[in-house]
Structure 1
Amino acid sequence: MISVYRSDVTALKHADNRVVVYQFKLTSEDYVWADVGEEVTLPCHLSPDTSAVATTIRWFKETECIYLYNNGQVTERSDYEGRVSLITQELERGNVSLRLRDCRRSDTGDYICQVIHGEQKEEAAVGLWDREGKCSRTPVMFLNT
């Protein structure tokens, strides 16, 4: 299943009047399952496959930023410290999925992957369910403003 994505297309005009359009989309699953104590990957990919090495990548749980990758520098929210990571060798292929180790019941809920490159910002949502099927997943809609 493909998750909801938001697309903002930005055209940049260079001094020599060339217009360059940067465009990518994010794709994800609607939800994934995990057991307490398990490692899970929250999938998110750039489409078409485009390097994400020079992008800013943020992962949110609900509205709280839990992971930030910016120019190779990583910041993790304290209650996720040491439990979250990107698959850095996959960034070149556009894989911005988040690995979450030692899942806790409190990790269940909605996650949003946000990728920024220049003026373009894309977001995709994925829900994390426990094996009992419990999840606070609610429909997510992104509005361009």
Structure 2
Amino acid sequence: MFSDLSQHKALVGSNVLLPCNLTVDKSHVNPESLTVIWYFQNKPILQYDSKGLSFTPRTSISEKAAKNGNFSLTVSNLTLLNEGVYRCRVIYGQQSKDSDSVLHLLAPPKLTVTNKVIVNGKESVLSSSISGFYPVDIDITWIKDGEILDEVTTLQLQRNVDGTYTVNSTVTITPTQEDKNRIFSCRVQHESLSDHLQEDFYLVYGVPPSVNILYKPFKLNTEQTLICHVWGFYPESIAVNWFLNGSLVEATEFQRMNSSEVKSILQFLPEAKFRGAEISCKVEHKTLSGPLVDRLLVDLSGKMETSQVRCKDSW
């Protein structure tokens, strides 16, 4: 009658045709003797018989083709929920036979280089995000002028709501001035792609920021203006946040002086309950492997302790 098993691959969002054919001696199938049932994961999803056609959303067969013994199933706008085993059961007169089709779905990855900012002569990290792919196996390569780079780290896979995967990849380099005109690339190979996916880019030579909290000695119950002064950085995108005893507090005002200098202003009332509290300004920038933090303690005796630290793991 027809083959017992077939394997099929299709892209998410596309349509697929799963074969099911019946050969009889006569040129046309007698519909009064025929029942066709399609199953997905052992649950019926479509039935065709002398009473007509019933089906679930996004499944169909051609009634015209069915009269000639072709009961192939179309599943449209595929999602990962459609992956699995389909069974076509044909009952014709006293004969009955099943045919299985295994559908494997593919979703091509999207590649974005998320950081290309480095510091000349210092260990720097390039990063990329590869998202929306299925199945899980994927190969990620970092390249400099055709030379494959070592020191690559692939972070833990994340499963998306739609069943696809996202993963971040990084490579650690120590760039020199000679790398300024060299082409760097992140290359992805995946079963869903007819060719590899690649993003080429040049390094962006950045300058890390400096930070300092400007202040006057605290006086009990007298409002104090604190200024987090951040300067000397490139590129200009930067994040500055205030914390009180580790909890985020909203700045009163943020001023951009120019492309490489900003001020974040915090109005703070030093009540007795804040005696000994820690106020900190945290700066995040593409050139930093971790936040840059300036801290001070609330000293209501009129003295102030300050310390500037680089903080990688505590935030």
User: Which TM bucket (shorter chain)?
Assistant: 0.5 to 0.7
Assess if the C-alpha contact under 8 Å between 1:52 and 1:95 holds in 2. Answer: no
Whole-angstrom distance in 2 between the partners of 1:33 and 1:53: 33
Per-residue deviation at 1:38? 0.7
Q: Which amino acid aligns with 1:40?
A: V
| Change over 3 Å in CA distance of 1:47–1:88 after alignment to 2 | same
SS of equivalent residue, structure 2 residue 65 = helix
SS of equivalent residue, structure 2 residue 86 = strand
Q: Which amino acid aligns with 1:68?
A: Q
Per-residue deviation at 1:47? 3.0
Per-residue deviation at 1:27? 2.7
| Change over 3 Å in CA distance of 1:53–1:89 after alignment to 2 | farther
Q: Which amino acid aligns with 1:38?
A: S
Q: Which residue of 2 is the match for residue 101 of structure 1?
A: 76
Q: Which residue of 2 is the match for residue 34 of structure 1?
A: 10
Runs of 4+ in 1 over 2 A off after TM superposition: 26-29, 47-53, 131-134
Assess if the C-alpha contact under 8 Å between 1:36 and 1:105 holds in 2. Answer: yes
Q: Which amino acid aligns with 2:14?
A: E
Residue 128 (1) aligns with residue 107 (2): no
Gaps of 5+ in 1: 1-24, 135-145
Deviations 1:3-51 (A, max 9, x none): xxxxxxxxxxxxxxxxxxxxxx123661111111111101111135763
Gaps of 5+ in 2: 108-133, 136-315
Residue 116 (1) aligns with residue 95 (2): no
Q: Which residue of 1 is the match for residue 235 of structure 2?
A: none
Residue 91 (1) aligns with residue 66 (2): yes
Question: 1:56 pairs with 35, 53, 59, which one?
Answer: 35
TM-score (norm: length of structure 1): 0.64
Q: Which residue of 2 is the match for residue 7 of structure 1?
A: none
SS of equivalent residue, structure 2 residue 2 = strand
Greater relative contact order, per chain length (Cα 8 Å cut-off, separation 6+) = 1
Whole-angstrom distance in 2 between the partners of 1:104 and 1:37: 6
In terms of Rg, which structure is larger?
Answer: 2
SS of equivalent residue, structure 1 residue 26 = coil
Structural RMSD (CA): 2.2
105-114 or 115-124, which moves further after superposition?
115-124
TM-score (norm: length of structure 2): 0.31
Whole-angstrom distance in 2 between the partners of 1:95 and 1:75: 17
Overall identity of the aligned pairs, in %: 25
Counterparts of 1:58-77 in structure 2, within 5 Å, are 58-76=37-55
Deviations 1:60-103 (A, max 9, x none): 01210011111151222xxx32x111122212321110011111
Assess if the C-alpha contact under 8 Å between 1:28 and 1:44 holds in 2. Answer: no
Q: Which amino acid aligns with 1:108?
A: E
Whole-angstrom distance in 2 between the partners of 1:107 and 1:53: 31
Say how many residue pairs are matched: 106
Question: 1:46 pairs with 10, 13, 22, which one?
Answer: 22
Whole-angstrom distance in 1 between the partners of 2:74 and 2:60: 5
